[in-house]
Amino acid sequence: MLSEREAAKYPFMSRGVELVEGLNLKLEDLADPNYRKVLDRAAERVTEAIVQGVVSARLADPLTELLSYPVAVMFVTLIGEHFLSRRFALAEAVRAYELLQGEYEDKIIQIASDEFRWDLKREPESIDGVIYSLRLAYPDYLRASTGFHEPKWKLVNRKLRDGQVSLTGVEAARLIQVEVENWIKERVSTPSNFALPGPLQKHLDHIRKVFEENRSKLGGSSLPDEVVNEAFPPCMRYCLEGLLSGRRASHMERFGLTSFLVNVGMPIDDMVQLYVSVTDFDEALTRYQIEHIAGLKGARTRYTPPTCNTLRTHGICRNQDAVCKTVTHPLSYYRKKARRLQSKQEEAEPSNTTE
């Protein structure tokens, strides 16, 4: 029973996968009314991911919780939307992170080393009055912390000794979240296509509907996942630099920049921080205005930035470059440039010699 509960907490772990495989369930079996709870929960996992961005943990009925995970994965691959796959992987990973924070270190070590082959061990030390109970090999640390940009995660700001980085339990859990996310992302990234028995199809239709309703709000267009600063069009770069240097910005300039940043996926918290840090704007008011532009307040429509023509009219279009001549909208510029930068990066051109 204990292991079932454990498996329900972390269903992506090999233990959970084994348990599910041991049941030898077929697709048709799931159509049986006995599995209704599993289907409901599976659909809920996906819709929670879509709407809330985090999947809840329902551990009172461990078996349902455990079984619903592979079914949810199946639903996600059947919908086959890249954006949904990513969002689901992140939401499940956040769920795991929240559960991991309540675990003893031994459990964290076990999951990290068994599932992700980390070189992680217990060796508590106190640094500046904080207990760092774990030490992780630096290659594992660097792999997991790739996407983190806060100074505290930078290797140079960590205690590194004999190739190992000191971590608190919560920090280790946060790094495991990344591994979980990548792990799940890999498993849901290949779309599948097969016919489902009626009750399952009904759930899938429901998920699809929820997804379509939320899609635009979540920014699931074909823009890059992460904000690519280098791909900003010259006008938006000018606005941003103006903001950072404290130049007085017109309303149009601020609206243009804010709506642009919302659309390229800058998190609202980051934007609030950006505005508040460089201006004397009131935080609550700034947040309201940004959320309004993002479609979370008021009329619930998300604004897109003005077109190139509009920006030109208001004197915001400037420093045009070659890409500008091929587009009529700052977001098209961004999409195009980001794609170019990415393909350039993939070519990974080498290599000179070293004197």
Partner 1 sequence: MEEWGSPQFVAEQFQRWYAQNSHTIPAPVEIESREFGFLTFHGRNMYRHIKLPTQAELQRYLRQNAPAHSYYSSSYYEDPTAEMARKGWRGADLVFDLDADHFDLPCQREHDKWVCRNCGKQGTGHPPELCECGKAQFQTETWLCERCLQAAKHETQKLLDILIQDFGVHQEELTTNFSGNRGFHVHVHSDTVKTLDQHARREIVDYIMATGLEAEYQGFSQRNKGAKPALAEGGWRGRTTRALYDYLSVVTEERLKEIKVSPKAVQAIMGERPKILRLLMERHPSNVTPTIDPKSLQLIVDDAAKLQAAEIDTVVTTDIHRLIRLPNTLHGKTGWQVQTVPYGELPDYDPLSSAVTIRGPSVKVEFREAPRMRIGDVWFGPYSEENAELPLEAALFYLCKKGARLA
Q: Which residues bind partner 1 (CB under 8 A)?
A: 126-130, 137-139, 142-143, 146, 151-152, 154-164, 347-355
The residue among 160 and 327 lying less far from partner 1, judged by its C-beta, is 160
Asked if the peptide bond before residue 351 counts as cis, ω within 30 degrees of 0, the response is yes
Would you tell me how many other CB atoms lie within 10 Å of the CB of residue 315? 11
The residue among 3 and 157 lying less far from partner 1, judged by its C-beta, is 157
| Closest distance of CB 319 from partner 1, Å | 21
Contact assessment for residue 38 and residue 71, using Cβ atoms and an 8 Å cutoff = yes
Distance in angstroms (rounded) separating the CA atoms of residues 2 and 162:
37
The residue among 139 and 197 lying less far from partner 1, judged by its C-beta, is 139
Task: Please name the residues in contact with 194: beta carbons below 8 A apart, sequence gap of 6 or more.
Answer: 78
Supply 318's token pair.
């400037």
The residue among 156 and 322 lying less far from partner 1, judged by its C-beta, is 156
Distance in angstroms (rounded) separating the CA atoms of residues 95 and 101:
10
The residue among 158 and 203 lying less far from partner 1, judged by its C-beta, is 158
The residue among 24 and 354 lying less far from partner 1, judged by its C-beta, is 354
| Closest distance of CB 348 from partner 1, Å | 7
Where b means 16+ CB within 10 Å and e means fewer, 163-191 reads ebbbbbbebbbbbbbbbbbbbbbeebeee
| Closest distance of CB 135 from partner 1, Å | 11
The one-character DSSP state at 306 is P
| Closest distance of CB 143 from partner 1, Å | 7
| Closest distance of CB 279 from partner 1, Å | 20
Alpha carbon of 53 to those of 127, 214, 346, 347: distances in Å?
34, 11, 30, 34
- Which stretch of DSSP H or E encloses residue 165? strand 164-167
Distance in angstroms (rounded) separating the CA atoms of residues 297 and 107:
42
Helices 268-278 and 283-293, axial angle in degrees (round to 10): 140
| Closest distance of CB 129 from partner 1, Å | 5
The residue among 150 and 280 lying less far from partner 1, judged by its C-beta, is 150
| Closest distance of CB 141 from partner 1, Å | 9
Torsion-angle region of 87 (φ positive above 0: left; ψ -120 to 50: alpha; else: beta):
alpha
Contact assessment for residue 22 and residue 16, using Cβ atoms and an 8 Å cutoff = no
Alpha carbon of 157 to those of 120, 140, 153, 167, 346: distances in Å?
19, 16, 7, 12, 30
The residue among 102 and 139 lying less far from partner 1, judged by its C-beta, is 139
The residue among 106 and 347 lying less far from partner 1, judged by its C-beta, is 347
